[in-house]
Amino acid sequence: MALETLEQRLTDLSFDTPDAGRISARVLSLVQKPRRRAFPRWLALGVATLLVAGGVLYFVPAADAGLADAPIAGDLLRDAGLTGAGTQVTSVGAVASSSGFRLQLIGAYADSTRTVLLLRANPAVQWLGVPGNDIQLTDQFGRSYNWQSGQTDSRTGQAIVQFEALAWPDALTGARITVKVAAVERACLANAFCSSPLPDGPVVKGSWVLPATLGVDEGTALALPAAAQLGAARFQFTSVRSSTATIGIDIQVTGVTFDDLGQMIPDGGKGTAVFTIDLFSPTGDVANTSFSMGEGLQGPIIQFLAYRSGPGEYRLHISYRGSSVDRILTVP
């Protein structure tokens, strides 16, 4: 082969020129990347389980609340309307001392209608909190609950304080509550129940903080009784619930006003109420505890609360201006 011919053939050959960017990308892709440290799968699952459990304990505090036999005197449970609650009363035992007084949160109970605290003071006091500085109840979300009622035995130092029902989601999951007392009234020694304000003892200021974790006693929805017509007033039942300790009844009233139901008939004394509502237990005893009445868009709304002493048939008696009606509630 002649040299000229070979040279000419080499000159005529064509080659594809590689793209420099593609070559750089390929080279960089072959560089070994640092390897991440791999955790065993069982360890990852364990960590996830702990995180979930921690969330449950915070957002569902009832999960670590032990409902047990609370060391609470029977008369205190009876006065609080908790004789039927059994082991649903949470034994707490939290203690706080301040200004020479020791307060103990013995137990707590909550259902869809109320939250009840059982306390003991040593030395005994006439009252926990004072007007304008009442005992306070908050939950883990910082929400405050309204005080409803209470009583104190200055002989024993035992006290019962009732608040409104826990709000959502506490009502479903339970709550991590905090009880705060900023003042107490010294007890008089002459008798068990002193007048208020205390004439012979000063208010003692301090700081008592009592935490507790409690579950909610889930109520059972009962069959709604038939509506009742008494004169111009129609009583329509909108909710009836029963827990192990409480019976709650909501009633929508139409045909009359809030003022109509609140009227009194003169009788030479305090007067006779034109409207009454009572619940009788299966043994015939009055099971009432309280009822509240407010003005709704359609008329008065009644929220009635009674203590449940056990299963059986309870008789609800409603009267208005000389007419009356009974409704039977079958409570499991």
User: Per residue in 65-102, pLDDT tens?
Assistant: 443 444 555 677 788 888 777 678 888 989 999 999 99
pLDDT digits 0-9 by tens, 11-69: 555 545 444 444 444 433 444 444 444 445 444 444 333 333 344 445 455 434 443 44
Q: How high is the pLDDT of residue 242? A: 94
| Mean pLDDT within 192-207 | 64
State the pLDDT confidence band at 9, using cuts at 50, 70 and 90. Answer: low
Q: Is the pLDDT of residue 138 over 90?
A: yes
CATH 2.60.40.1630, domain 63-214, yes or no:
yes
Which of the pair, 84 or 294, is modelled with greater confidence? 294
Q: At 85, phi and psi to the nearest 5?
A: -75, -25
| Mean pLDDT within 181-186 | 91
Q: How high is the pLDDT of residue 134? A: 83
Helix (H, G, I), strand (E, B) or coil at 57: helix
- Total length of the chain: 332
Q: What CA–CA distance (Å, rounded) separates 274 from 329?
A: 24
Q: Is the pLDDT of residue 254 over 50?
A: yes
Q: How high is the pLDDT of residue 160? A: 92
Which of the pair, 295 or 318, is modelled with greater confidence? 318
The alpha carbon of residue 97 and the mean position of all alpha carbons in its chain are separated, in whole angstroms, by 26
Q: Which CATH class is domain 220-331?
A: mainly beta
Return all residues near 162 (Cβ < 8 A) that are at least 6 apart.
80, 114, 115, 116, 117, 147, 148, 149, 150
What distance, in Å, lies between the first and last C-alpha atoms of the chain? 114
Print burial letters for 263-291: b (CB count within 10 Å at least 16), e (below 16): eeeeeeeeeeebbebebbbeeeeebbbee
Q: How high is the pLDDT of residue 201? A: 55
Q: Which of 18-27, 199-208, 293-302 has the lowest mean pLDDT?
A: 18-27
Range list for CATH 2.60.40.1630 in the chain: 63-214
Q: Are 245 and 88 in contact (CB under 8 A)?
A: yes
